[in-house]
Structure 1
Amino acid sequence: MRVYLPCTLAALAEVVAAGELGPAPLTGFAVTPALVEWYASGDTEELEYVALTEAARASLRMLAADRADGVEVAARRVVVAADMPDSAVTAGVDLEERARVRLLKSVPIAELASVHVDDPAAVPDVEAAVAAIAAADRGDDDARFVVDGAEDHELMWYATQEIPDLLGRR
């Protein structure tokens, strides 16, 4: 199962240093039975895009939490993709977050499939979304509009061997 795990550039650097994404359990997003049922007209590619988008939104929450703790982090959403055995993943039943899953084991860096990161041109919209994500989660329509502005930016795809170059350009 392809699992999309929210991250930040700073956290990705920690993954590289540790050699794994962990510790488990990890919250991720994937094509779950609940997502398939909800989005019945979607093909696999569309469903994976929904899961990737949910992980990107969770990355915004991670950025906001880091900022609230006084950590300086680059305003770029990061999502790490990993192909995991079904036995390592449990799907939740939360109707609001149909794609949410729990990963029951850490992910060695060698098992990562790809990394998805905002282009630097998205930074102004991501900055605004980081500031608005909490209000958007509480239902504020204006804040949701701001978050949608960040989501208008497609995440760029990176092969895992490009991670060191990506981190060097933070």
Structure 2
Amino acid sequence: MRIYVPATVHLLGEWYAAGAVASTEEGFVPPDDSEEGEYAALMSAADASAALLRGPGRRIVVVVDTATEDRVPLRDVVAVHADVEDRPVDADPDEDLGWFAVQEIPDLL
């Protein structure tokens, strides 16, 4: 199952140091396997990430393929979506996120 997990740069750093995403419980599952369904889950997670920020910053969405909602090892992370730079509080919520490979997580931090 693919899950889109909202995060912040701080949370991503904690998860990267721990070698696992703490939980996917707050993540968003696409309603189907279509591109539209995946995009809807991504943008819902991006909105949740913006709420976690409580101010300017970068929205982060960690994408995992897993069968569990428990602690997910980094090897199950398939990608990270993130704003390419800090965004103001009043930024357009529909602005797309950049795609980053798992190997690029240290660069995001």
Same fold (TM over 0.5): yes
Report % sequence identity. Answer: 42
Aligned to 1:166: 108
Distance 1:84 1:10 in 2: 23
Aligned to 2:84: 119
Within 5 A, what are the aligned runs for 1:89-108?
103=69, 105-108=70-73
The change in CA–CA distance for 1:25 and 1:12 in structure 2 (over 3 A counts) is closer
Within 5 A, what are the aligned runs for 1:1-170?
1-22=1-22, 24=23, 26-32=25-31, 44-64=34-54, 75-85=57-67, 88=68, 103=69, 105-120=70-85, 123-124=87-88, 127-128=89-90, 149-151=92-94, 153-167=95-109
- The structure number with the bigger radius of gyration is 1
CA contact (8 A) 1:3 1:83 kept: yes
Structure 1 spans left out of the alignment, 5+ residues: 37-42, 68-73, 89-102, 130-148
Name the Cα RMSD after superposition: 1.8
CA contact (8 A) 1:26 1:106 kept: no
- Which string of whole-angstrom CA distances, capped at 9 and with x for unpartnered residues, describes residues 56-83 of structure 1? 001011112xx6xxxxxx6110000001
CA contact (8 A) 2:58 2:87 kept: yes
Distance 2:100 2:50 in 1: 19
CA contact (8 A) 2:3 2:24 kept: no
1 or 2, which has the higher helix percentage?
1
- Which string of whole-angstrom CA distances, capped at 9 and with x for unpartnered residues, describes residues 93-123 of structure 1? xxxxxxxxxx2x1111121010000121x61
Distance 1:54 1:159 in 2: 20
Shift of 1:25: 6.1
- Which string of whole-angstrom CA distances, capped at 9 and with x for unpartnered residues, describes residues 11-61 of structure 1? 100011111111x462110123xxx5xxxxxx7001100000000001011
Distance 1:25 1:79 in 2: 11
The change in CA–CA distance for 1:80 and 1:25 in structure 2 (over 3 A counts) is closer
The runs of at least 4 aligned residues of structure 1 exceeding 2 Å deviation read none
